[in-house]
Amino acid sequence: MDINNVKKELGTDWSGYQATLVSALCNSNEFVSKINNYLIENAGKQLRPVLSLLSATVCGEPNNTSHCCAAVSEMIHTATLLHDDVADDGNLRRGVPTVKAVFGQAASILAGDYWLAQALDLLTQCGEDVLSCFTNAVKELSVGELIQMEKAELLDTCKEDYYSIISKKTASLFIAAMKSGAISVGANPERLKAVEKYAYELGVAFQIRDDIFDYTPSMDTGKIAGADIKERKITLPLLCAMEKSSPEEARQVREKIALIENSLVKGGKVSDAERAIIDEVNLFVEKYDGIGQSQNILGEHGKMAVKALSPLPPSWAKERLVALAEYVGTREK
Ligand code: FPP
Ligand code: MG
């Protein structure tokens, strides 16, 4: 599936979203505009606004509020990445240097604050129910990142922790994007529940695919593979491999990762010894087919996403949501 074709099919709703986004971000200051333009020129797939508008379309007739919901989804997502690249010391995103790498840490945090503030400003026009979708997501995103930090210190992540982290740091914004889109067209409770469940499953599948990328250096994903272990993040491919190995082997792997200095303390540099540990963990994941197992789990979440759509009436938008569930599980970027 080509997500750009879906944008074309969304037609005036997609252009309405784009116009809303550009006008919400407009600022007379040259430095702010320079960073905004850098971000807009290097935009990603814009999956969240696509989901927001498809959700509105599958439940009714999209309107100006739906365009705002789509814009807010993308603005909050961008704000989180601007902050995340400071937290993770990320220098490459979407195949280009991050705002942190080009303009510096402080500029990245402050630009994130600006995008978040302008999103809040748009939300003042959208009513309380839409607002609460996004306040809940921002809370979940922050808590998810904090739990992830805590676990990077303790290195005791289990599968339950992993799902809690990815539900909060990724699925929560998918839910807000789709639920708000549905609310904007007055969807009934049954349809709201259906899009919420779909968004949750899709968000989980999306993050698992992202975590697989980190163990796949051969793929040109626009990110640097191996970064998760450098950041002491224990994700699904490693957890699956640990489950298949002996408890002793799993314990040894955790001990090895503990030798990696927390990147927040160290400023993200990888020493030769740490590179060797990352390579060893990669081999361990390969030996116990951590990627294959994760891909199977991801596939199950994709199926649950599609199943969740059953209360919704047939429409072209519903067909695209079904196709997106497949796309998210097999995407290469
Ligand atoms: C990317 O994950 C990061 C997120 C999905 C969420 C980041 C959230 C925050 C920084 C907290 C909330 C911030 C605001 C502005 C509300 P990743 O690091 O696993 O993936 P990556 O490889 O894309 O960096
Ligand atoms: Mg990151």
Per-residue pLDDT tens digits for 37-92: 999 999 999 999 999 999 999 999 999 999 999 999 999 999 999 999 999 889 99
197 CB under 6 A from ligand 1? no
Residue having the nearest C-alpha atom to atom 4 of ligand 1: 169
Give the number of the ligand closest to the Cα of residue 207.
1
DSSP, collapsed to helix, strand or coil, labels residue 93 as strand
**What is the CA(145)–ligand 1 centre distance, in A?**
7
DSSP, collapsed to helix, strand or coil, labels residue 22 as helix
List, as one string, the DSSP characters of 229-245. HHTT---HHHHHHHHHS
Kindly indicate the confidence band of residue 263, based on its pLDDT and cuts at 50, 70 and 90: low
Domains of the chain: 3-330 (1.10.600.10)
**What is the CA(90)–ligand 2 centre distance, in A?**
6
- Exposure of 252 by Cβ count < 10 A (0-12 exposed, 13-18 middle, 19+ buried)? middle
Residue 10 has pLDDT above 60, yes or no: yes
Residue having the nearest C-alpha atom to atom 6 of ligand 1: 169
112 CB under 6 A from ligand 1? yes
Q: Supply the pLDDT for residue 88.
A: 87
Per-residue pLDDT tens digits for 90-143: 999 999 999 999 999 999 999 999 999 999 999 999 999 999 999 999 999 999
Q: Supply the pLDDT for residue 268.
A: 57
| Distance (Å, whole) CA 261 – CA 275 | 12
Task: Select from 42, 84, 235 the residue to mutate for testing ligand 1; criterion: most ligand atoms less than 8 Å from CB.
Answer: 84
**What is the CA(255)–ligand 1 centre distance, in A?**
26
87 CB under 6 A from ligand 1? yes
- The DSSP bridge partners found for residue 93 are 96
HSE-CB at 46 with a 13 A cutoff on CA atoms is 25
**What is the CA(252)–ligand 1 centre distance, in A?**
29
| Distance (Å, whole) CA 165 – CA 234 | 11
**What is the CA(259)–ligand 1 centre distance, in A?**
24
